[in-house]
Amino acid sequence: MKHFILAFCLLAIIPFQTQAAENDAPKARAMLVFDASGSMRGQIDGTEKIVIARDVIGSLMKDWDEDVHLGLSAYGHRQGNCKDIETLVKIGPGTSQKIAKSVNDLKPKGKTPLSAAVKKAAEELNYTKSPATVILLSDGIETCDLDPCVIGKSLEENGIDFTAHVIGFDVKLEDQAGLKCLAENTGGKFLSAENAGALKEALQQVAKEVRRGPDRVYVILDKKGERYKKDVTWHVFKIDENGKTVRGRIDARVDDFLALRQPPGRYLVRAGVGQALKGEKIIEIKEDETQEHDIDLRAGTFNLSGVMKEGAKFISRGTIYWNIYPYKPDGTISNSWAFGAAERKARAELPPGKYQIRGKYGNAFFRKDIESKAGETENIAANFKAGVVGLSGTQNGQTINRDITWYAYRLKEDGVPQKRYTASNIGKKVWFTLNEGKYRIRAEYNQQVAFSDLEIKAGENVEQVADFKSTK
């Protein structure tokens, strides 16, 4: 049995607008490609498909949004070969009635060069430089030489923003694979319509998509706030009704901007430029509104230094170890740090977002939540609230000049030491830098153990001596 195709394609172009022309620009520009091949003489419930299509398109044109400039082309209506493709109405405003009349005048005759027609229409609308959406309505399979699956992949790869939504009009299940592939390869939807009512509903749905267009997401890196025009790695994740990110990305691509073609809802979009610059943003897609979003990757700057107590001079000896961890959308802290350094003073440049700074000086620790804002600089003097204790040992009234094993345990409020020690070292004299608080020192020497308690105060240095029992 010979298969034929009823197809029309809406190639939507959402133009790049300047401020001066914003009020004059259409919402979108579209090309309607109509399949007038011989299969249109086939019937559904006693009515020819060409009649059903005329009625549905005529009804659609009555309510067409004239801010969407529309054109018409057709194929299979003049000859019986695969080159029979013709533009009937040029793209422009106020063309809906001309299109309805032209469709009514078409007589089903020839083959269905479906893939060639989609490709030609994309080229006519300059799809490599402008966004383009194709809506294909088909009642069968391609009958000429090209493969719609291959064509879809090529148009997606070479286009600025190419998408094909496909409607299967009374298409048998075994004939749907190529049509589904065309949609999937371009990030579009496949819709099935078995009768006139379902066809009208499907066409209204895709026409709404053309009017609305995709949300767009851009990256900003330039100090002046201009949008980045080179490759960005994009990943998209769904956020569920509980505000949690659903595991498994639903879109991934590399392009200078992201056309976000998803149902209304909330999504987490991650953007990366190279290995170092990464950012993310929660975006809400609305039912009847097209939006543009920016993920600002311009770094905020943090100048990091440390003090032992509030108002004290900057730490000038030893090494401070810095790590900065980003917060995830669910409010938890990532296990992977965004910045790390081992120096007393450090400079961190971070994409906008929320982070936690962690500093370590000796065995004293500092934590603080921060927010990086594009282009802003903040000086942070990490207050470790720490002091230093010098530890040594004696026996028989003499200073021990051999190695002693030292442990410092922080005391809880009830005076009981924590199970895990805060600091340890081996030496005849050691120094511990510890956060302020009460500690128990354990010293081990020559199979003897000595304990002593002490209190560390911020900014103070103290000495503690462990006296071991006499060996006489």
Q: What is the pLDDT of residues 423-440, one digit of tens each?
A: 999 999 999 999 999 999
Matching CATH topology for 28-213 and 386-468? no
pTM over 0.85: no
CA neighbor of 423 nearest in space, from 415, 457, 431: 431
Alpha-carbon distance of 187 to 153, in angstroms, equals: 10
Q: Are strands 386-395 and 346-350 parallel, antiparallel or unpaired?
A: unpaired
pLDDT of residue 25: 57
pLDDT of residue 469: 82
Each domain of the chain, given as residue ranges in start order, spans: 28-213, 216-296, 300-382, 386-468
Low-confidence residues in the chain, pLDDT < 70: 1-27, 276, 471-472
**String of DSSP letters for 438-467:** EEEEEEEETTEEEEEEEEE-TT-EEEEEEE
Enumerate the β-bridge partners of residue 422.
none
Domain 300-382: homologous superfamily in CATH: Carboxypeptidase-like, regulatory domain (2.60.40.1120)
pLDDT of residue 26: 65
> Is the separation of the CB atoms in 245 and 239 below 8 Å?
yes
- In CATH terms, 216-296 corresponds, of 1.10.10.10, 3.90.1150.10, 3.40.30.10, 2.60.40.1120, to 2.60.40.1120
Amino acid letter, residue 219 = V
Q: Could you give the dihedral angle defined by the CA atoms of residues 352, 354, 360 and 363, in that order, rounded to the nearest 10 degrees?
A: 180
Q: What is the pLDDT of residues 254-311, one digit of tens each?
A: 888 898 888 889 999 999 888 767 888 999 999 878 899 999 888 899 999 999 999 9
First-to-final CA distance of the chain: 111
The CATH number assigned to the domain with range 28-213 reads: 3.40.50.410
pLDDT of residue 276: 67
Confirm or reject CATH 2.60.40.10 for domain 386-468, answering yes or no.
Answer: yes
